[in-house]
Structure 1
Amino acid sequence: MAWTFALNAECGDRETHARDLARHFDGWPAGVFSSAGAWWCGVAPEGLSPNGAHTDEEAAAMTAAGRRLYWLLRIAPPVYRYALAGIQTDRFRSYDELMAEKDLTIFPGLVVAEDIWIRTGKRAEFSDFAPGYRWLPYRGESRR
């Protein structure tokens, strides 16, 4: 089983939003898929271990890719509702599952639209990310 590192962003019920976001990541392997009634944009950098981070070098490479992906997401069109980079984030949570989650702080790197942040309790651990978005700062990957 592959343990792919990627950034995945949920774009609601608009396929065009997911495609617009994928285009923003020009030069990166980006794709669009549908899951649980929502459209997602996934960006999976090439050249990273398909088996997770088993060495310090693999973790460092994934962390560098994650930081770059978040930087690009910060300047992306505001067409997504939430996003997360890491290993196996392609089916992270449906919107309803995310909204039902009691403690979103267990997902370092989670970026949420301002309305999600408000509706889930305005947790102080979230900080500004981009206009209209809040996030739990990304800590990077570690050896597993």
Structure 2
Amino acid sequence: MAWIFSLSAECGSDESTAHKFAQHFIGQIFILSNGSSCLCHVDTFQDIESNWWCRVYPNNISEVGINSPESAYLMTELGILLYQKLRLAPPFRYALVGVEVDEFRTYSELIEDLPNLSIPGLVLSQIIEQEVATLPIFRQFSSGYIWQPYQGEIYNPLMVSPELKTKLDELFVIS
């Protein structure tokens, strides 16, 4: 099973808005510090509430998640580049960069959870902020948008190492 690193943006109920958003990223190439280039692919889809999403997924990046400190570093670097490009993107309602962030919240779930929701990297349209109280950790992202500042990707050895997980499980066995 692939674990995709991407930028996912919810664009509302108008399909053309998602397609305009996608056009902003399609074919974009990011050059990372290790010299690799990442070409952005995009797709659009509808969620269960009939709202449109755009997924931006660069190639040449791990598809098994964050399996080393180096992959966490490269995904963080790519995340920063995606957020920089997002600042100039056509309108969207909310967005997030990370591993497996597709449809991380439907619009109604987001509105319900928002007063207590802490997701570093979450970008919100200020229209949403006017509808619902947000936490004070939100900062200005760009004109018309706020965000909880991105904290980068994290390497967690227990998530990728069966050997370490087994050793940890052994700690919980009472003799």
Using the size of structure 1 for normalisation, the TM-score is 0.94
Q: Which structure: larger Rg?
A: 2
Match of 2:130 in 1: 118
Using the size of structure 2 for normalisation, the TM-score is 0.78
In the alignment, is the contact (CA less than 8 A) between 1:108 and 1:137 conserved in 2?
A: yes
Measure the CA separation in 2 of the matches of 1:142 and 1:42: 21
Secondary structure at 2:67's aligned position in 1? coil
1:141 to 153, 158, 172: 153
In the alignment, is the contact (CA less than 8 A) between 1:126 and 1:136 conserved in 2?
A: yes
Match of 1:129 in 2: 141
1:72 aligned onto 2:85: yes
The one-letter code of the counterpart of 2:149 is P
* Greater relative CO (CA pairs within 8 A, separation 6+): 1
Measure the CA separation in 2 of the matches of 1:5 and 1:120: 29
In the alignment, is the contact (CA less than 8 A) between 1:84 and 1:110 conserved in 2?
A: yes
2:93 to 78, 81, 102: 81
The one-letter code of the counterpart of 2:43 is G
Match of 1:99 in 2: 111
Measure the CA separation in 1 of the matches of 2:148 and 2:66: 21
Match of 2:24 in 1: 24
| Structure 1 outlier segments of 4+, above 6 Å | none
Match of 1:60 in 2: 73
In the alignment, is the contact (CA less than 8 A) between 1:117 and 1:123 conserved in 2?
A: no
Match of 2:167 in 1: none
Match of 1:6 in 2: 6
Match of 1:108 in 2: 120
Secondary structure at 1:129's aligned position in 2? strand
For 1:9-55, what per-residue CA distance to the aligned partner results, in whole angstroms no more than 9, with x for missing partners?
Answer: 00111110000000001312111111121100100111111111010
What count of residue pairs does the alignment treat as equivalent? 142
Contiguous gaps of at least 5 residues in structure 1: none
1:35 aligned onto 2:44: no
What RMSD, in angstroms, separates the aligned Cα atoms of the two structures?
1.1
Secondary structure at 1:19's aligned position in 2? helix
